[in-house]
């Protein structure tokens, strides 16, 4: 059965983390829906790149997804941290055993949702002081059960391939990586 992933995007999201994740997942045959959080139909990402989400974030539609991805970018994560429906969806996905994945400053949204306690995770080192002490790991990608976190734009390929491995298989991730000439 084909997996479907919702990638949240808002003004100020890190464009590399959004586009690389969406691209890699699609190469693996995973359905990707870019959900715009906020009022604008076009999102201006952190470096000025304009992105057109597939639609607006609607928490009532969240149950059709197998995973929820939260990219970094200070502006985008701030918008998501203030959106109660995003935090509720994070808690529900984890409670239901679905995958929640966050990269760079994205784990700050997880912290706001109250789901990092007792879990191992990573983030951009610059976000570390905003997160619970003791469980932060200085690793490119960290998986703790159905929670997947990563550090920055430079780890976006490893993060996306870890998502493919989690949602499909290690073989699928290796095949996609080989086709892109990404070392694993």
The per-residue pLDDT string of the chain (184 residues; one tens digit each, 9 = 90 and over) reads: 899 999 999 999 999 999 999 999 999 999 999 999 988 789 999 999 999 999 999 999 999 999 999 999 999 999 999 999 999 999 999 999 999 999 999 999 999 999 999 999 999 999 998 998 779 999 999 999 999 999 999 999 999 999 999 999 999 999 999 999 999 8
Instruction: For residue 16, give the CATH number of its domain.
Output: 3.40.50.880
CA 181 centroid distance within chain: 22
Domain count of the fold of the chain: 1
| Cβ pair 95, 64 in contact under 8 A | no
Query: Which domain does 155 fall in, by range?
Result: 4-180
Alpha carbon distance 4, 66 (integer Å): 5
**Phi first, then psi: what are they for 75, rounded to 5°?**
-65, -45
Positions marked active-site: 104
């Amino acid at each position: 059965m084909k997996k479907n992933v919702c990638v949240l995007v808002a003004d100020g999201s890190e464009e590399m983390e959004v586009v690389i994740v969406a691209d890699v997942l699609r190469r693996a045959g995973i359905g990707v829906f870019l959900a715009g959080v906020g009022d604008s139909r076009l999102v201006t990402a952190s470096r000025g790149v304009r992105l057109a989400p597939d639609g607006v974030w609607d928490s009532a539609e969240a149950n059709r997804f197998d995973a929820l991805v939260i990219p970094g970018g200070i502006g985008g994560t701030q918008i998501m941290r203030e959106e109660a429906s995003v935090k509720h969806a994070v808690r529900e996905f984890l409670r239901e055993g679905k995958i929640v994945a966050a990269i760079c400053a994205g784990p700050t949204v997880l912290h706001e949702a109250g789901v990092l306690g007792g879990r191992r995770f990573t983030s951009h080192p610059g976000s570390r002081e905003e997160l619970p002490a003791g469980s932060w790991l200085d690793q490119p990608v960290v998986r703790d059960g159905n929670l997947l976190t990563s550090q920055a734009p430079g780890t976006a390929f490893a993060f996306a391939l870890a998502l493919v491995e989690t949602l499909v298989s290690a073989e699928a991730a290796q095949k996609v990586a080989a086709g892109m000439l990404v070392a694993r």
